[in-house]
């Protein structure tokens, strides 16, 4: 073989072998890092890194948290684990078993689909984290999607809505000024956010404002990622729980495990290190004021550890149980109240983003045994 042919063969082989640096790996968050920065450093869109870890793209990552970093473009040219094709209403589709480490975006890319199209075909949010062993429907690449006017599967037409009333403090903001603009007492706003009424606000801090407050981020507009987390319970400590953990804890308090797990997945992807733009923390996205109220009124004297993921689930389950009692056991109304607030739902009904939240939760509930 001539030298030129050997060189040509080597060049072809090197082009076919992916670089080691592009492999999927685990990254431990260092002080000062952000989700967008880690994504950029690994050649990924922020949304892809967020989806691989069950987070919204605006999530605040906590130092010490371990993130799954997928390979750029995730997935293989020939999908593995493809089940025999089944027939759907829009044409042939394939049943696909999710393998450990795979992501929704990676599976979509490997099958020539947008993440939104694959999510819609399975009743998922495009940011959903897929569970190893679950089966996904793979629509034909030319199948009609929401963009062409054909409705997607229930609950999968759009991403999870932004937290209700989320606000990120800007330079010059004061607690009294925000309370005045939101038409609530300073003490009430301070209590809900785990602050003193005379606290000085630091730019980048997430706050929960009342539903419909004019100072809050407009509906459908993502608030910036929080940069400073107030020192209040519950703590957004690193760690995850499983669906079976949530079923067990919720069941201890008479709450349907499938409903609690669906809300937890929608809220945080089971990630206890998550802090939302509304200052909600942990697996069940419990706000400081809610944590204190649950501890005082529902925990029956049992102290809840603000750093334990299991007790974050317990606090959220206790609160969800109270909402179920307040709504006559209606899971849709209880989920709406969990997101929008019970008094707001009773006063003005479900807002459009609340209806989307409830649809997502009810669709997810079926995936967790409900």
Annotated catalytic sites, by residue?
Answer: 267
Per-residue b/e over 246-255, b at no fewer than 16 CB within 10 Å? bbebbeebeb
Q: State the burial class of residue 169 (Cβ atoms within 10 Å of its Cβ: 0-12, 13-18, 19+).
A: buried
Full DSSP string of 126-187: TTPPPPTT-EEEEE-TTS--GGGT---STT-SSPPPPPTTEEE--TT--HHHHHHHHTS-HH
In this structure, are residues 102 and 74 in contact, taking their beta carbons and an 8 Å threshold? yes
Q: State the burial class of residue 77 (Cβ atoms within 10 Å of its Cβ: 0-12, 13-18, 19+).
A: exposed
What is the residue whose two structure tokens read 């079976």?
244
d(CA 161, CA 152): 17
Q: What angle, 0 to 180 degrees and rounded to 10, lies between the N-to-C axes of helices 257-268 and 352-365?
A: 120
Sign of the alpha-carbon dihedral angle for 192, 196, 197, 199:
negative
Radius of gyration of the chain (CA): 22
In this structure, are residues 111 and 118 in contact, taking their beta carbons and an 8 Å threshold? yes
With left for phi above 0 and alpha for psi between -120 and 50, is residue 120 left, alpha or beta? alpha
319's tokens: 């609160």
Please give the biggest Cα pair distance in the chain: 84
């Amino acid at each position: 073989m001539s030298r030129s042919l050997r060189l040509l063969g080597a060049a072809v082989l090197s082009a076919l072998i992916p670089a080691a640096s592009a492999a999927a790996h685990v990254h431990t968050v260092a002080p000062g890092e952000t989700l967008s920065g880690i994504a950029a450093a690994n050649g990924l869109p922020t949304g892809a890194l967020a989806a691989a870890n069950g987070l919204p793209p605006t999530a605040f990552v906590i130092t010490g948290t371990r993130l799954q970093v997928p390979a750029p473009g995730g997935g293989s040219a020939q999908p593995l684990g493809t089940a025999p094709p089944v027939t759907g209403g829009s044409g042939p589709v394939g049943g696909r078993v999710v393998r450990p480490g795979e992501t929704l975006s990676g599976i979509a890319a490997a099958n020539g689909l947008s993440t939104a199209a694959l999510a819609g075909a399975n009743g998922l949010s495009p940011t959903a984290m897929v569970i190893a062993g679950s089966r996904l429907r793979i629509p034909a690449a030319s199948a009609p999607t929401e963009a062409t006017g054909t409705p997607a599967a229930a609950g999968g037409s759009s991403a999870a809505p932004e937290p209700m009333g989320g606000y990120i403090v800007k330079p010059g903001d004061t607690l009294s000024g925000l309370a005045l603009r939101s038409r609530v007492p300073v003490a009430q706003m301070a209590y809900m956010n785990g602050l003193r009424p005379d606290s000085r606000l630091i730019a980048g801090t997430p706050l929960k404002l009342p539903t419909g407050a004019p100072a809050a981020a407009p509906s459908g507009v993502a608030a910036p990622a929080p940069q400073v987390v107030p020192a209040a319970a519950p703590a957004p400590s690193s760690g995850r729980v499983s669906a079976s953990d949530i079923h067990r804890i919720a069941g201890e308090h008479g709450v349907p495990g499938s409903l609690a797990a669906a809300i937890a997945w929608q809220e945080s992807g089971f990630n206890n290190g998550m802090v939302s733009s509304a200052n909600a923390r942990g697996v069940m996205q419990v706000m400081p004021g809610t944590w204190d109220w649950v501890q005082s009124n529902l925990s029956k004297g049992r102290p809840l550890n603000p750093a334990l993921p299991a007790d974050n689930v317990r606090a959220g389950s206790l609160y969800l149980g109270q909402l179920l009692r307040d709504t006559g056991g209606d899971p849709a109304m209880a989920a709406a109240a969990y997101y929008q607030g019970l008094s707001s739902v009773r006063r003005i009904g479900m807002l459009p983003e609340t209806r989307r939240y409830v649809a997502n939760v009810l669709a997810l509930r079926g995936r967790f045994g409900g």
